Amino acid sequence: MLDQDTKVHDESRQGEAFAPETISAQTYSKKFYIESYGCAMNFNDSEIVASILNQEGYGPTRNVEEASLILLNTCSIREKAELTVRKRLTEFKKIKQSTPGLLVGVLGCMAERIKGKLLEEEKLVDLVVGPDAYRSLPALIAEAETGQKSVNVLLSREETYGDISPVRLDNNGVTSFVSIMRGCNNMCSFCVVPFTRGRERSRDAYSIIKEAEELFASGYREVTLLGQNVDSYYWTNDAGTETITFALLLEKVALINPLLRVRFSTSHPKDITDEVLYTILKYDNICNYIHLPVQSGSTRILQLMNRTYTREWYMKKVARIRELIPDCGLSTDVITGFCTETEEDHQDTLSLMEYARYDLAYMYFYSERPGTLAERRYKDDIPEAVKKRRLAEVVELYRGHSQATMEKEVGKTFKVLAEGVSKRSDADLYGRNDQNKVVVFPKENFKKGDYVMVKIESCTSGTLIGKAVY
C-alpha cells in the first residue's frame, strides 16, 4: 500500500545508512554511522559531514553496532519526517544503553528547528548540530566526549562548504550530487526551509566546476547541480569583476566534457529563464529534464502560498519549455489541502495536471509546520480525510498520465547512462535516459558508466525495458 505522504517514487533512500561499500586501505580508529532524511541536499550534506569526520579519524560504517558515533541527518519538511526521526531515536536507546561512550547526534533541519530543546526532549541525544555548523563538529564531539551536551545551530550568511570535497557515501561511482547553493529566500508560506536553512547563498562557481571535474576524472558520468532554487544562482568573484548566473554555470559544467551528463534541481517557475532553456538546448549533455514544482493549480491558493506566480504564468512556462525543448521531461511537486482550499481549487490542480501531463510527480498533503507564514496567518482548516482524498485523486490522475507517457516511449531508442546492475536480475543493467526515465536492458558486455543506445520494447509503470542496439 502506497504511503501517500511520501514521494510516490523512490523513497527507498530515506533513513538508509550510507557508507561506501569498500573503504580505502586507510583504516580509521573510530567509526561513525549516519542515516539521512529529506532532500538530496541533505544527503549531500551528509557527505560533507563524512569528509569533516574523516579528517578526525572517523570512517563511515553501515553497521550501527560498530559505531562510536551515531548521526541522524534530519528533515523537518512535514510532521511525518520528524516523527520518523523520533522513532529512530527511540530505537537507538537500547544500543546507547549497552555501549559505553557511544555518542548520538542530531544534525540537519530538525536540529535547526528544535535546537537545544531536542536535548531535553530526547534524553539520549548528545549533540545537536544545524546545517551551517558542521565545521564545528570535531569540537562539539570533543565536548560531548567529556559528558557535556553540545549544541551549535548558528545559521550563516556565508557558509557554503565550497572548499570541502564531499566523501561519496552512496557511491555507484557514476552519478553524483553537487550542491551549488544553500538556503532559500523565497518564503513560500507552507515551507520551513527558509527557517532551517537560512538565507540563500551561492557557492563559488570555480569550486563547483573543480568538484565536477574531479568527479569526471574519477569515473563519474553524471552530476546533478542542487539548490532549493537553482535559477537564482548568482555568484560574483571577490574583485567584483566576474558574475556567473545559473545559465552560465550550467554551460561551464557542460563544457567539462561531453561525456559528463548534467542535471539540475529545483527550478522555481518564477525564476527559470529562456537563457537556461537555450543553454539546455545548446548542449547535448545537459539533460532535457526540468523539475518545476507547481504546488497548486489555483491562482488563489498560489497567492496564499506566496509562490508569486499564477496558474496562467505557470502554464505559459510549460508551453515555452515544450516549444523550445519538445522532448523535455517535466516533473512537479503538488500539495493538496492547503489552508482554505475548496473543491474548485482542487479541480484547478487536477486540470493543470491534465494540461502539463507530468512525467514524474511528488505529491503530498499539507502538513502545517510551526513558525511558517501559513501557520501564523492561516487556519489549517481542511480536515485530514479531505486532504487525503484529494491527494488520492491527484495521485490517480498522475498515474494515468505517467503510464501513458511510458507507453508512448515503446519503440523509441534512447541513449542510456548505465548506473549499475538491476535489482531484479544480475543479467540486466539499469540506467536513465535524458528525460530521467529508468531503463533496464540486458547487460551483454556493457558496464556501469557506459552510454548505451537502448531500443524500448515494453514498459511497466516506472520502468522502460529494452535491448541495446548497435
- Distance, CA of 7 to CA of 460 (rounded, Å): 18
Q: Which of 38, 105, 227, 329 binds ligand F3S (CB under 6 A)?
A: 38
Which of 78, 113 has the CB closer to ligand SAM? Answer: 78
Q: Which of 76, 224, 265, 336 binds ligand F3S (CB under 6 A)?
A: 76
Residue 225 binding target from ligand SAM, ligand SF4, ligand F3S, none, CB below 5 to 8 Å by type? none
Candidates 192-200, 294-302, 342-350, 351-359: pick the segment binding ligand F3S (CB under 6 A): 192-200
- Please name which of 245, 310, 299 lies closest in space to residue 273, comparing C-alpha atoms: 245
Amino acid, single-letter form, for residue 69? L
List binders of ligand SF4 among 264-283 (CB under 6 A).
268
Is 191 marked as binding a ligand?
yes
Which of 292, 465 has the CB closer to ligand SAM? Answer: 292
Q: Which of 335, 350, 356, 382 binds ligand SAM (CB under 6 A)?
A: 335
List binders of ligand SAM among 207-246 (CB under 6 A).
228-229
Q: Taking CB under 6 A as the rule, does residue 314 contact ligand SAM? A: no
Q: Which of 59, 60, 108, 293 binds ligand SAM (CB under 6 A)?
A: 293
Smallest distance from ligand SF4 to CB 332, Å:
12
Q: Which alpha helices (DSSP H) does 173-254 contain, by range? A: 193-197, 205-217, 246-254
List binders of ligand SF4 among 193-212 (CB under 6 A).
193-194
- Distance, CA of 111 to CA of 444 (rounded, Å): 47
List binders of ligand SAM among 174-193 (CB under 6 A).
190-191, 193
Candidates 190-198, 273-281, 373-381, 405-413: pick the segment binding ligand SF4 (CB under 6 A): 190-198
Residue 76 binding target from ligand SAM, ligand SF4, ligand F3S, none, CB below 5 to 8 Å by type? ligand F3S
- What DSSP letter does each residue of 14-53 carry, written as one string? TT-B---SS--S---SEEEEEEE-SSHHHHHHHHHHHHHH
Smallest distance from ligand SF4 to CB 258, Å:
32
Is 287 marked as binding a ligand?
no
H or E element, residue 406:
helix 384-409
Tell me whether residue 423 is exposed, middle or buried, using C-beta atoms within 10 angstroms of its C-beta: 0 to 12, 13 to 18, 19 or more.
exposed
H or E element, residue 113:
helix 108-114
Amino acid, single-letter form, for residue 108? G
355 close to 318: Cβ distance less than 8 angstroms: yes
211 close to 161: Cβ distance less than 8 angstroms: no
Q: Give the count of residues interacting with ligand SAM (CB under 6 A).
A: 18
Q: Taking CB under 6 A as the rule, does residue 226 contact ligand SF4? A: no
**Residues 108-137 vs ligand F3S: string with x where CB under 6 A?**
xx----------------------------
Q: Taking CB under 6 A as the rule, does residue 197 contact ligand F3S? A: yes
Is 184 marked as binding a ligand?
yes
H or E element, residue 454:
strand 451-459
CA atoms lying within 13 Å on the CB side of residue 118: 32
Is 339 marked as binding a ligand?
no
346 close to 395: Cβ distance less than 8 angstroms: no
Candidates 71-79, 165-173, 298-306, 439-447: pick the segment binding ligand F3S (CB under 6 A): 71-79
Q: Can you tell me whether residue 321 is helix, strand or coil?
A: helix
Q: Which alpha helices (DSSP H) does 266-383 contain, by range? A: 274-282, 299-304, 311-324, 343-356, 373-377
Amino acid, single-letter form, for residue 469? V
Backbone angles phi, psi at 55, to 5 degrees: -60, -25
251 close to 275: Cβ distance less than 8 angstroms: no
Which residues line the annotated binding site?
39, 75, 109, 184, 188, 191
Binding site for ligand SF4 (CB under 6 A): 184, 186-188, 191, 193-194, 228-229, 268
The residue ranges that bind ligand SAM (CB under 6 A) are 39, 77-78, 190-191, 193, 228-229, 266, 268, 293, 295, 333, 335, 364, 366-367, 369
Annotated binding site for [4Fe-4S] cluster: 39, 75, 109, 184, 188, 191
Which residues contribute to the site for ligand F3S (CB under 6 A)?
38-39, 41-42, 75-77, 108-109, 192-193, 196-197
